Structure formats: C-alpha cells, structure tokens
Amino acid sequence: MEKYITDPSTGLDYELVGDYYLIAGEDDPAPQPLGLWGRRRLAYLKAHRRSLYNDLLLSGKLENHLHAIDANATDMADRLTAQLSRAEGLTEALKAQDQMEWVRRMNSIQARVREMVNDELIHS
C-alpha cells in the first residue's frame, strides 16, 4: 500500500496511518509562547477584568490580543529604556569606569519603564 494517495474527485491527500488512510494535512504550527508582557496582561485580565477576559477567550481573540500587547509593550520598553539612558547620560564609558553606579542607574530606569508600560498597556 502506498504511504500517500490523492483522491482525484476531491483533490484531498491521504496518508496511510496504520491500516487506515487519514486526511494528510500540515500539522498545526506550535503556538508562540507569550513573553513577559503578555503573561502580565493575562494575569491582569484574569484578576481585574474578568468580563473582558471572558469576551476575548470566548471569541477566540485572546491569544492574538496577548501577542499584540506583548509586542507593543516590548517595543515601548526598549524605546523608553534607550531614551532615558541617553537623557541620563548612561554610557559605555560610565559602565567601564563605575559598574555599580551604572547598574544602580539602569535599575532605576528599568523600574520607571516597567511602571510606564504597566500604566499605558498592561493595566488599561
């Protein structure tokens, strides 16, 4: 018996699995994992916006919503971190000269960026 056959009347391809021919189709692509911001949005929706969470879930739009929020939040965080670093004079020279000061200032910037992204995108 052949491994693959095509039905000429329907154009469907069939694959031999054990003793049976099953419709051969592409496997569903693996779902993309959610990033940090997408997971935070999901937790926020479940805890504080149950009706919106249920609406998105039941309409099948939840995954797309979370991936869009994740992408937008990541872009926003990267952009804000770069802008604040430039504005506050965080340079590679400072990093080489005084690592602890550079880390302290970068942690401060990252904490402010997290708050901004949370306020604008995650908790809205």
Cα 105 to its chain centre, rounded Å, is 27
Digit-coded pLDDT (tens) for 61-77: 999 999 999 999 999 99
Both tokens of residue 57? 């879930």
Digit-coded pLDDT (tens) for 81-93: 999 999 999 999 9
The partner residues of 13 in beta bridges, in order of sequence, read 6
Digit-coded pLDDT (tens) for 11-22: 888 888 888 888
Q: Are 122 and 40 in contact (CB under 8 A)?
A: yes
pTM value?
A: 0.73
Domain ranges of the chain: 4-26+34-119
Cα 44 to its chain centre, rounded Å, is 15
- % pLDDT > 90, the chain: 73
Both tokens of residue 81? 């971190």
